[in-house]
Structure 1
Amino acid sequence: MKTKKVPLFSKCMEDLSIMYERTMTRLGALAVTAFFLGAGSCVAGDDVENRLRAVVDAAIRPVMQKYAIPGMAVAVTLHGKQYYFNYGVISMEEGKPKVTEKTIFEIGSISKIFTATLASYAQEIGKLSLSDPASQYLPSLRGSSFDNISLLDLGTYTPGGLPLQFPGDVDSHEKMIGYYKNWQPNYAAGTMRLYSNPSIGLLGLLTAESMGEPFEDLLEKKLFPMLGLKQS
């Protein structure tokens, strides 16, 4: 499949992307350091946790300061043992509690990993095929552009130009379905990749429809337990 490169982020998203890359570069160095610490952890008197903390501090504190991040939590697993390093508070508002390893963070677009995993699982158990037309799983979309757009197109952001976000006036389930029904692609399906929340969001909705259960129930009661996620 030939795709054309297009701008994916606004200036704000570019700044977030740069922050992410720099943080991951720092954490990549942390991972390498953790490896060598683990290799030498059997040496008497070697305080692995304090040495890990020094590396994590060097990676995290500059990022928090530069981007005014109120709080972060970092977990490192080494030889089956977990080390937690917590920074700051959950909000800049006065009196907010400090971050701990139990603090719940909003995961944002990491949720897309779970959406794609659930869709793949649904295919494995015969509830759907990623090559099927998207409209096959939602009667209200039949006769729309989604007759010619596959579930795989939705998951790979190639349905033909769905935007990064819904328009501001799409604020209910009914309006969302109406938006999809009236939406017209700018490109042929599978030819243009544009990062889009409505694209993979629709994949999640249709996957849930194919399995006959609410999306949130499928994640919390089926997918998370299978993945060993007990506090998600």
Structure 2
Amino acid sequence: MKKISLSIIGALAMVACQNGESDTATITLNNNIDSVSYAVGVNTANGLQQQFSEGNMDAFMQGFKDVVDSAELLVSTEDAQAVLQGYSQKKQMEQMAERQKQMEEMFASVKEEGIKFLEENKTKAGVQVTASGLQYIVLKEGKGKQPTAMSNVKVHYHGTTPDGVVFDSSVDRGEPIEFPLNGVIAGWTEGVQLMKEGAKYKFFIPQELAYGANAPQGGQGPIKPFMPLVFEVELIKVND
């Protein structure tokens, strides 16, 4: 839901009849300003109906009239902003929850296969599991600096889906990449902090620590929603 802004309501109030209540049934549009004023009202009402269909129109009109008449407001302008922001955030959370539910229904098989993959993988030789569920194998230990979550790191990596489809690889491109460790998926942020410069690890990242429902390209590429990811990572350099 788009945020309902007081500026929209304020604009509607400004173009309304300024001498008491207006009777839209008797309004005549005599000039361009009249037409624009009416158009703003129509546009705002349409927007409110689409974005705020559950709204109490009596309360809306009372608030509108109080502004036009410069009457004492039942809710101050500052408090009104907070009310609108809180409502907008609530609706956004509801929409996100609904989208999560829809995605889980659509990609239930991917999620189930991912859980099975990780359950089987953690029993293999050399696989270690952190408290968050991140799985990893130490391919080579390093002896250099160890990063923190706030570090910039330079790495080589090779990323695949659980069934081995390559979706991204600095190794294949022949060029390492540098980035802030707190600007990537949670599995990377946690996993690379386990390493020291010169180390090479293989990570098996649960979907909760990867992209979850928000797969890149809307799930149209190799990475599907709720899919765990596999990365081989070589930590080349830590830059604090």
The structure whose RCO (Cα within 8 Å, separation 6+) is larger is: 2
**Structure with the largest fraction of strand:** 2
Give TM-score scaled by structure 2 length. Answer: 0.22
Larger Rg belongs to: 2
Give TM-score scaled by structure 1 length. Answer: 0.23
**Structure with the largest fraction of helix:** 1
